Amino acid sequence: MDWGAAVQDFREKGYYVLKGAISEKLREAFWGEVRGAVAGEPDLRLLEGNRITRNADRDPPFGPLRQEGKPTSRITDIEFFSEKALALALHPDITAFLAEFQGTKPSLLQTLTYAYSSEQGAHSDRYLVNPRQKPGYDRDTLAAAWFAIEASSDENGALILWPGSHKIEKPRLDLDFGDDYTAYTEALSALLSQNQIKPVRFYAEAGDVLFWHGDLVHAGGPILKEGTSRRSFVCHYGDLGDPPKSEWWQRKAVPYGDGFFFRRMKASPLRKARNAVRRRLGG
Ligand SMILES: O=C(O)CCC(=O)C(=O)O
């Protein structure tokens, strides 16, 4: 594989597709571990909009990952509970591509696991990915890999991409819109039109991997056939150094294949007690 040519194409368009990179066996084993974690891991976290909840604190635990009228939920950091998540995230083809892009070994910053399209409006990840282990990382090295665990179509909300949009200056959700997501996505959509950047849909086959540049505008397509799943796994990477150092006491860098991930350290007894009180008080 000519990774240099692949990365040149990526730098130009802002995305790159590796067709059929992931075997069915690995995809299904991964999803089996996701199901296992949902059923048995009290500390698994779920993100809905901006709200994070622990599996154990939900009533009923987890429930469906999509409910009418609510933002689509995603599991965060499944790699704390799933070895197969690491086998995907730091697969040799993935780390080879990212090493070519970044010029150093990639660090896995965070992961999101979806059973459905997020239906999330147009956005760039550049200022949305803020890893606790190193908030001040070099954002020019940010890239994502999106793994198709199943095929995507118009019915289940195939991803929407705006090729070349990583090259234009954009407003920020936090600084320019006070975290008003609707106003932010509307402004981005207007900016894309002004720059005559037209969207393309990514109709994935199961096993495809799509890389997108940290500043490429993308969106989760609307689900046209209610209830149709679109299982996917999204990993964000950046250059945090080799070896990377966490600036946060609860994360420790661990080598895996040709990259790194961060393991969550156990909370101290004092912190555990404080968290329990907070939860009881609903804080
Ligand atoms: O899979 C999706 O629907 C969108 C994912 C996404 O936009 C993201 O994780 O940044």
CB of 162 closer than 8 Å to CB of 216: yes
- Residue 149 Cβ contacting ligand 1 at under 6 Å: no
Domain spanning 3-161+200-280, CATH class: mainly beta
Give pLDDT tens digits for 25-36: 999 999 999 999
List all residues 6 or more positions away from 83 whose beta carbon is below 8 Å from its beta carbon: 33
- Residue 75 Cβ contacting ligand 1 at under 6 Å: no
Which sequence spans correspond to the domains of the chain?
Answer: 3-161+200-280
Helix axes 3-13, 92-102, angle to 10 degrees: 60
Give pLDDT tens digits for 232-246: 999 999 999 998 988
First to last CA, the chain: 51
CA distance 194 to 196: 5
Q: Whose CA is nearest to atom 2 of ligand 1?
A: 220
What is the pLDDT of the chain when averaged over all its residues? 91
pLDDT surpassing 90 at residue 61 = no
The pLDDT confidence band at residue 68, using thresholds 50, 70 and 90, is low
Peptide bond into 163 cis (omega under 30): no
| Mutation pick for ligand 1 pocket among 15, 218, 235 (CB with most ligand atoms within 8 Å) | 218
The pLDDT confidence band at residue 55, using thresholds 50, 70 and 90, is confident
Query: pLDDT higher for 31 or 282?
Result: 31
- What confidence score (pLDDT) does residue 247 get? 84
- Residue 215 Cβ contacting ligand 1 at under 6 Å: no
- What confidence score (pLDDT) does residue 236 get? 98
